[in-house]
Amino acid sequence: MKVLIVEDDELFTEMLVSAITGFYQAEVKTSNSGKNFLSIIEDFRPNLILLDLFLNGDNGLLILKDLKQNYYAKHIPVIVITGVNDLNVWNTAISLGACDYLLKPFNIEDLFKSIEASCSIKENSNLQAILNNKPEYIKSKDFDANVEIAKKHVALLLKSEELDVPVFPSIAIEIQQLLKDPQVGIREICDIIKQDVGLSSKIIRVANSSFYCAVDKIIDLKKAISRIGLKEMKNLVQILTGKLMFKINIPFLDHEMQKLWQHSLCCAYSNELVVQNKEVENSDHFFLLGLTHDVGKLFLFYLIAKIIKKNSDLKNVFTNDITEFLISKMHGQLGELMMDKWSLPKQFKEVARNPELIEINDTIENPLYVSTTSFSNLLSRKIGFDFQTFTEADALHIKTIGEKLNLKDENITEIQTALETTLQKAKNTFY
């Protein structure tokens, strides 16, 4: 295999060369600019190109465009590598023909997966025909080809004027802000909630549920809030309004959305348990952070639902495997986009971009937020509230992150026990 690396960061280039030659029997050539790019390709004839987007003043997207318009070079798979976390740039790169988009810093394992997937795509002689001939994608069972089709449709929708995004329940933030004022009481909270008849009735129903050990039936909102307590009202409003976002009228996605909601609720309770005995600024952020940390996945499900509603045949493309692949590649960027749309604090954006980050390094501006949510992700996986199976590696990671959060083994066990108890109580009420 021949690999051409076009990257102007010398240290990063050395790392890539070392990784690729150490793992593959590969011949690697490097270039630090876009000058004479096509002539280098003609001489070297690479099987794969790793292309940075910003090269000593050269625009990598223009280079990519020229490459894909060249008859002799357009077949070569290109992986874009960049520090630019911008969904519009991602869309442009994919629409110009990039096989993948790796955001620096990335794990070497992710690079290898991307290389193998990209080379597999290149070897698929039917790919171009499938992309250009719409009826063919229904018949295609080729994973890599369908990934490209799925990416193409998602990218087109993200650019479309038809795009709408899930609406964040502003009342949840309003209640959260109000409850920061110690002078605020039941009357003020009641005045806001009663403006939403649906929410009011749900709160009364929950107040009468076994979750709050109800004995006497309540039909009055003020009494319901009194039974629940002001401290709990913040979380309850976030749960009841947030759950509405996890409903999509596409049958084959309903199960995935339900799993995502249960996972998000689990992470919300876990986040709160982790910080409840710590001196943490804005500790009230952490429950909502758990509920929203995977909003990138939620948004992707919205996009898929919209695509399939427009063309039901595409259900054959968006299989579980391909949806999971798209989630692994896109949910960080989509999550950051949604946090921007919702105007949530910058800490939420960083978590949405790195919801499962294990190595918390100096580039992370809000390590407590990221570490807590990563811990909750792993703990939810351990107790069966995640899309993935808990592994031995996860067990090591949960211990490592726990140490960063000053959690001993017994603390982790206590949090897990409390979390399982809370979720069992919540089972018939919230999911």
The whole-angstrom distance between residue 11's C-alpha and the CA centroid of its chain comes to: 29
Residue 277 has a pLDDT of 81
Task: List C-alpha distances in Å: 382 to 80, 398, 416, 419.
Answer: 34, 9, 9, 11
Instruction: Tell me the fold of 2-123.
Output: Rossmann fold (3.40.50)
Name residue 52's beta-bridge partners: 81
pLDDT for residue 120:
64
Domain extent listing, the chain = 2-123, 170-430
- C-alpha–C-alpha distance, residues 75 and 96, integer Å: 12
Asked if the bond preceding 105 is cis, omega within 30° of 0, the reply is: yes
Q: Give the per-residue pLDDT at 47.
A: 85
Please, how many CA atoms are within 13 Å of residue 285, restricted to the half-sphere of its CB?
A: 18
Residues of the chain with pLDDT under 50: 122-141
Q: Are strands 58-59 and 54-55 parallel, antiparallel or unpaired?
A: antiparallel
Provide the phi-psi class of 229: left if phi over 0, else alpha when psi is between -120 and 50, else beta. left
At the fourth CATH level, the homologous superfamily of domain 170-430 is Hypothetical protein af1432 (1.10.3210.10)
Q: In this structure, are residues 221 and 190 in contact, taking their beta carbons and an 8 Å threshold?
A: yes
Supply angle C-alpha 360, 361, 366, rounded to 5: 70
Nearest CA among 366, 396, 397 for reference residue 293 = 366
Closest CA to 115 of 75, 63, 79, 151: 79
Q: What is the pLDDT of residues 335-348, one digit of tens each?
A: 998 998 888 889 99
CA distance 151 to 161: 18
CA distance 298 to 291: 11
Classify residue 182 by burial, with Cβ atoms within 10 Å: 0-12, 13-18, 19+: exposed
Give the chain as a 3 state SS string: CEEEEECCCHHHHHHHHHHHHHHCCCEEEEECCCCCHHHHHHHHCCCEEEEECEECCEEHHHHHHHHHHCCCCCCCCEEEEECCCCHHHHHHHHHHCCCEEEECCCCHHHHHHHHHHHHHHHHCCCHHHHHHCCCHHHHCCCHHHHHHHHHHHHHHHHHCCCCCCCCCCHHHHHHHHHCCCCCCCHHHHHHHHCCCHHHHHHHHHHHCCHHHCCCCCCCCHHHHHHHHCHHHHHHHHHHHHHHHHHCCCCHHHHHHHHHHHHHHHHHHHHHHHHHCCCCCCCCCHHHHHHHHCCHHHHHHHHHHHHHHHHCHHHHHCCCHHHHHHHHHHHHHHHHHHHHHHHCCCHHHHHHHHCCCCCCCCCCCCCHHHHHHHHHHHHHHHHCCCCCCCCCHHHHHHHHHHHHHCCCCHHHHHHHHHHHHHHHHHHHHHHC
Residue 56, by phi and psi: left (phi above 0), alpha (psi -120 to 50) or beta?
left
**193 within 8 A of 200, measured Cβ to Cβ:** yes
Q: Which residues, including other chains, have CB under 8 Å from residue 228's CB and lie 6 or more apart?
A: 203, 206, 207, 212, 236
